[in-house]
Amino acid sequence: MSESCGRPSEHDDHGAFGCAEVIAEVWTLLDGECTPEKKESLRRHLEACPGCFQHYGIEERLKALIATKCSGEKAPDSLRERLRLEIRRTTIVRGEFQS
């Protein structure tokens, strides 16, 4: 990421990937969905480019926050059962109207 403008550029001297490509691949890296070779190239770029490293850190914290907020408790069994019954009832009622 160009330090002068703070925006991703297509060309830089931080390895095989340009800043724009690294920014586009941040979630692939965070989700562990890239090949070992690509992961290594992206990591090298992040180590050499403070702007991209900062962007990566923000996305990493966002992912952790989402995981924390979405990994809460299950709905109580009584609520889950009421929802199941309501869905079943709605399905039956709709089936009667369509017949």
pLDDT for position 55: 96
SS3 content of the chain, % helix, strand, coil (to 5): 70, 0, 30
The CATH architecture that domain 19-98 belongs to is Orthogonal Bundle (1.10)
**What's the pTM value of the predicted model, to 2 decimals?**
0.58
- Distance (Å, whole) CA 25 – CA 62: 15
**Which residues have C-beta within 8 Å of that of residue 12, sequence separation ≥ 6?**
1, 2, 18, 19, 49
Positions in the chain short of pLDDT 50: 1-12, 98-99
Among residues 57, 4, 33, the alpha carbon closest in space to that of 12 is found at 4
pLDDT of 34 reads 92
